Amino acid sequence: MGLQTDGFQKYDLRKKIYFTLFFFGIALFAHAQNLNPKITAHKTNLTINIDGILNEPVWQQTPLTNQLYDENGEYNNTTACFAYDADNLYAAFKCKVNSTSELNRTRLDKDDQFMLSNDWVAFCVDTYHDGINAYAFLADAAGNELDGSLNPPTRDLSFSFSSKWTSAVKRNQDGYTVEMKIPLENLPVRWNKDSMTMAIQIIRNDKQNNRMVQWPATKNIGKFQTVVLHEINQTHPQNLSGVNIKDRLAYKKSKIDVSTMLGRCQGGDASVMDYLIFKKRDISGAEHPRMLQYSMRPERVKRIFENTSYFKNLHTNIDFETMLERSQTTAFIVLRNDTILYENYFNGFNKDSTFTSFSVAKSFVCTLVGLAISDGLIKSEEDKITKYLPELMKKDARFSEITIRDLLSMSSGLAYSHDGFPSDDEFTYQSPDLRSAVLEHVRISDHPGKHWLYNNYNPLLLGMILERTTGKSVAKYASERLWQKMGGGNASWSLDEHGFEKMESGINCHAHDYARFALLFLNKGKYNGIQVIPESWVQEATQPQERPKGYYDYLLKNNTYYNYLWWGKFRSGQKNANDFFGMGNKGEYVYICPQKKLTIIRLGFEYGFTPASMSWPEMFYEFATDFE
């Protein structure tokens, strides 16, 4: 299915901008800010009229820089100024261009990501000066505004954060000028003392010269400039993530049309709110859900985490719980056996909130396949997929070489690309008809079993096989064979517009349900005296198997492996009891350490800090190692 529309070109360019942001200027690194000397910012008591004209005396007194930088060297077509008062941050810019006639004039709604294809300037602020998170405020030559959080390296610039701020733009014969006013009260930071240290960065996207440049002027693209503010008023943010779910949901609903591919993409990237937008099918829970025990040891848990090398390398003065809130965590639970040692919720979420899954859903899919084999509905994981999906033979006879095991292992040899729009990411997440999208766009690029390639076509094909072999919807089979028997509460699974479960994502449940699922695997598939999942399947699905040379060497270099839609980390001396975990977009983890009988659940808006997906498992692994 091709979409030859203006939207196609804009989304394609947006992805290129994301790619550029990642490599040329918005990536934060945990300790980069410490390399710059501090500067004391200019404080003003005068009123600054935000009109884009830049005629106030303060802008003559506070030039910050006129030298920006990229990999090609210095850049002198932007001047930036910065000031503050007791309640606001102010930024001003003079942006020169080659031709003013080529500047964008189209007005867009606030936070419309299409403006990333224009000429724009950004003021970025790391409010805690710790490299965990920062916030970017962008304005383009047409006066459009966009803001977001910098959560490297998932999207770098993500849009769960949105704030109320003011900007104005004026065009002139050389280009355009910008003024910004950012209220401190609207930043996700608790200012509770007279003097505060933070860090800032300036970015200019010069579209006509195809350059994205930054200040501080250095080859270290992760460096922010340390600044000190004095005599500022105390602030009272709602939370430290900067995310207002109600506002962001209203914005996304106003943009999206669930009936078409392009319409579903208009709401932007996947988000934790998607379960409130997509259709869903109930997963009926147990009459009496499994009750988890409590023996709270919060100080012990926090102390061990704060002593991990990963936490220490953040070079931050904040404590572990503030780090969780800052890193856009929504739920964090630590259990030993079935007993909760630590449980806390952040950023507006609580024990009764619904937490949607992204790729953690894949680990549930693996479990359902194992149950279907146990039930005799699927003969074996060695079955060829064309036994159940014969129509694939019409596309390519080589589909007959692929087994269910290959799909589970992400080694099916199916092609997968993130490039262009719509890419395979859109086809497998946003399509209103996932079955048709898979059958139309799935294609072969390699022999099965040779190489590992993370690929969302695999779980969707498994879902189609489950439907055909069980004669039921995937959610109904999950409810009857897994959810109720593990003691889960009522839940749901998000659907496309044709009633097919999203498979690679979309399980919507309480945080305790993720813990119940983990405990089932920790206890080798058994709950309440009943073998819910065959013990042999738990072992086969979660522990490493022999793989050919070159299969996924880059994972092995990081002490990591991948098996049946589960990730794992090798633990010395534990041949059949290595740590394993389900992992999904936005930093969701169901982490299990059999050796220490530990389970860790982390859910969030975003991954939260560099280097994203594998940072949390590294911390969990070290925590489990040190836990006695």
Task: Quickly list DSSP for 481-511.
Answer: IIITTTT--SEEEEB-TTS-B-SSS-EEE-H
Which string of DSSP letters, residue by residue, matches 148-170?
EEEETTTTEEESS-----EEEEE
The whole-number pLDDT of residue 153 equals 34
What is the DSSP code string of 277-307?
TS-EEEE---SSPPPPEE---HHHHHHHHHT
Which CATH number is associated with domain 6-230?
A: 2.60.40.1190
CA 265 – CA 288 distance, rounded (Å): 39
- Residue 17 has what pLDDT? 37
pLDDT score of 195: 79
- How far apart are the C-alpha atoms of 116 and 138, rounded to whole Å? 9
Is the confidence at residue 193, as pLDDT, over 80? Answer: no
Q: What is the mean pLDDT of residues 579-587?
A: 95
**pLDDT tens across 385-442, in order?**
999 999 999 999 999 999 999 999 999 999 999 998 899 999 999 999 999 999 999 9
Asked if 591 and 269 touch (Cβ cutoff 8 Å), the reply is no
Which residue type occupies 115? Answer: M
60-71 residue pLDDT tens: 888 889 999 888
Contact between residue 527 and residue 338 where contact means Cβ atoms under 8 Å apart: no
164 CB neighbour count, 10 Å cutoff? 11
Q: Is 401 exposed, middle or buried (0-12, 13-18, 19+ CB in 10 A)?
A: middle
Judged by average pLDDT, the poorest of 87-101, 255-269, 325-339, 373-387 is 255-269
363 and 583 in contact (C-beta within 8 Å)? no
pLDDT band at 516 (very low <50, low <70, confident <90, very high): very high
> Please, which residues bridge with residue 248 across strands?
none
Q: Which two tokens stand for residue 160?
A: 């769960």
Whole-model pTM: value is 0.87
CATH value of 309-626 in 3.40.50.300, 3.30.450.20, 3.40.710.10, 3.30.70.20:
3.40.710.10
Domain ranges of the chain: 6-230, 309-626
Residue 271 CA, distance from chain mean position = 8
pLDDT in the model for residue 51 = 97
Report the C-alpha gap between 411 and 401 in whole angstroms. 12
What is the percent of the chain with per-residue pLDDT over 70, rounded to a whole number?
Answer: 91
**SS3 readout for 438-452:** HHHHCCECCCCCCCC
- Statement: residue 108 has pLDDT above 50: yes
- Across 243-247, 270-274, 517-521, least confident range: 243-247
